[in-house]
Structure 1
């Protein structure tokens, strides 16, 4: 059993439950079937499902997996912090699409993903998120060096 995964999963479930509970208190808007609680509730459900999956996997793993995981954890945490810091620094200059593609590829590789899967996710994820945030939710995203071809 990997205690860290069980605790992390439990924390995600608890955090997701707190977000869902808080979102239910948002005021309703007249004449609309959904309100401002919709997106936070969906995100909270995702957090809770992922937390359950992480906790279940941690509880199912054998003792040998825990030793290997713990040995690699500090390097992965430092790498992830570097990816987040690099994303924050590069976002205004490179723009959302290129920065997120590079960050996704790097995070996939840090956590053991293969090159093909990391490159595929790095190519598809920014486009999917662009569609969700820019087109559906009307959230402006920085284009950076891609401004000349912005649509």
Structure 2
């Protein structure tokens, strides 16, 4: 049963990644930029394909997940989905910096990082990500209540 589920999951990830690359190849290119709007979808799709191939390889070798049958096994995925949904809802209201800091604080703590690491990562990572998106990629991010200090 597990091998069949892993084969289906791995094949689905490979198919989804391939579809994402195909769709992203149709995105328009922007002027003289070395990269375009297809860059991040292609990076994510490559990760999906590699993950799918890894799952397929483990299924072919007969490697089963360590903890089968636990009801709490899906909890991390559900928490991650809830965090992504909450981030999407809160982004326009709180702005990128606050919404990302809250999401990171919860994610790092829930996934085992502990409070010291969570409180260190949560305020710093949004600033670094903002620099990458705003200054390097020229993607504006919402500021929310921090609009007065926007740069």
Q: What TM-score results when the alignment is normalised by the length of structure 1? A: 0.68
Match of 1:17 in 2: 18
Instruction: Give, in angstroms, the shift of residue 55 of structure 1.
Output: 5.9
Counterpart Cα distance in 2 of 1:33 and 1:39? 13
Q: Which residue of 2 aligns with 1:48?
A: 49
* Aligned CA-pair RMSD: 3.5
Q: How many pairs were matched up?
A: 148
Q: How far 1:136 sits from its partner (Å)?
A: 2.0
**Deviation digits for residues 12-47 of structure 1 (CA, Å, limit 9, x no counterpart):** 332111112333345667877655544432332233
Taking CA–CA contacts closer than 8 Å with sequence separation of 6 or more, which of the two structures ends up with the larger relative contact order?
A: 1
Q: Specify the SS of the correspondent of 2:68.
A: helix
> Structure 1 88/36 Cα, relative in aligned 2: closer, same or farther at 3 Å?
closer
Q: Which moved more, 1:90-99 or 1:114-123?
A: 114-123
Other structure's SS at 1:95 match = helix
Q: In structure 2, do the counterparts of structure 1 residues 28 and 134 end up closer, same or farther at CA, with 3 Å as the change threshold?
A: closer
Query: Partner residue of 1:119?
Result: 119
Match of 2:83? 83
Ranges in structure 1 where 5+ consecutive residues have no aligned partner: none
